[in-house]
Amino acid sequence: MSEVADGRPRRPGRAGREGFVRARFITGFLAAPVLLYLVYVISPYAQAFSIAMTDWRGVSAAPRFVGLANFGRLLGDGVFWRAVGHNALLLVLLPLLTLAIALFFAFLLNAGGQGGGVAGVWGSGFYRVVFFFPQVLAVAIVAVLFQQVFRPDGSGMLNGPLIALGLEPVGFLSDPGVAFWSILAVLVWQAVGFYVVLFSAGMASIPREMFEAARIDGAGRVQLFARVTLPLLWETVQVGWIYLGIAALDVFALVWVMTAEHGGPDHSTTVMAAEVYRNAFQYFKFGYASAMGVVLFFFTVAFAVLALRLSRRERIEF
């Protein structure tokens, strides 16, 4: 027989009744959110899986069941696998470049000041606002903005000075060998500011005494970053890597608005999401597009699981 805090014996079964009441309260509280999640998140996934097994064209009332035929077609679709290759390249380069640049700037803002101590640079608050500014712009606005930046004539921000100097303009969006890297540069430009602010907040939470102790022991800026800052920010970096990886697999609007032929030229910038949209709403192959979406879904889930496993390390308390 258990006892409560004042020493009086508790009647048998009271704990069980309290647990039942608590469980009923939690269940009732979560019922509506779970129902909404099932209807608006799980249900569309289930419908996409079922549509991927048909030849539905978006208008027919009774689509024909074709089993795994759509997935078999994907194996021989060169354009789709080219899109997969572009997403895979973005999956590696976008997180790597964005996180590296964001960590560098965040460390400068928080520990790159002058003097013997550890302090941020002068005006770091203003720089955070400037870095974060691209986040307030809609993706379509960013795409239209950089269409003008990359213009191949004299009015382009980049090609204008080249033409004025008598040099050949660069086809940032018209050259198949350059267009993909132009898209990658815009993605990094748009994303890096958010992670500068995120990492700055994480660094601000690290006790300054840890930096001071490392400086007293003779650590330089590089050692401060590698031995103190990065290990204590590892969980934040891990989350950022997963978010950016998912963003790399979900790139659509920027490619669709910026590039010629919505993924061109010559499919040099196309991605999986663009091929899903093209097949569904231009070619009206909703069953085939759903099969692409299912493949994209499993790629995203597999990446998230692998990223969590590979980046797992012992948590450091401070």
Q: Is 231 within the bounds of a domain?
A: yes
User: In whole angstroms, what is the distance from residue 274 CA to residue 251 CA?
Assistant: 8
- pLDDT value of position 118: 56
Q: Which residue has the higher pLDDT, 314 or 56?
A: 56
For residue 44, tell me if it sits in a domain. no
Structural domain harbouring 211: 78-310
Q: Whats the size of the chain, residue-wise?
A: 318
Asked if residues 88 and 178 have their Cβ atoms less than 8 Å apart, the reply is no
In-domain check, residue 141: yes
Instruction: Give the number of domains in the chain.
Output: 1
For residues 72-78, give the mean pLDDT. Answer: 91
Establish if 240 belongs to a structural domain.
Answer: yes
The answer as to whether 283 is a domain residue is yes
Contact in structure between 85 and 268 (CB atoms under 8 Å): no
Q: Decide if 204 is inside a domain.
A: yes
Q: Which range has the top average pLDDT, 111-120, 125-134, 136-145? A: 136-145
Tell whether 96 is covered by a domain. Answer: yes
pLDDT given for residue 91 in this prediction = 93
pLDDT at 316: 54
Higher pLDDT, 97 or 63: 97
Pick from 45-54, 135-144, 211-220, 230-239: least confident? 211-220
Here the CATH number for the domain that contains residue 217 is: 1.10.3720.10
Residue 270, C-beta contacts closer than 8 angstroms, at least 6 positions apart: 79, 82, 83, 86, 255, 262, 263, 264
Residue 11 lies in a domain: no
Tell me the angle at which helices 78-111 and 272-281 cross, rounded to the nearest 10 degrees: 130
The mean pLDDT of the chain is 84
Of 32-41, 184-193, 210-219, which one has max mean pLDDT? 184-193
pLDDT of 180 reads: 95
C-alpha R_g of the chain = 26
Record the tokens describing residue 53, joined without a space. Answer: 């097994």
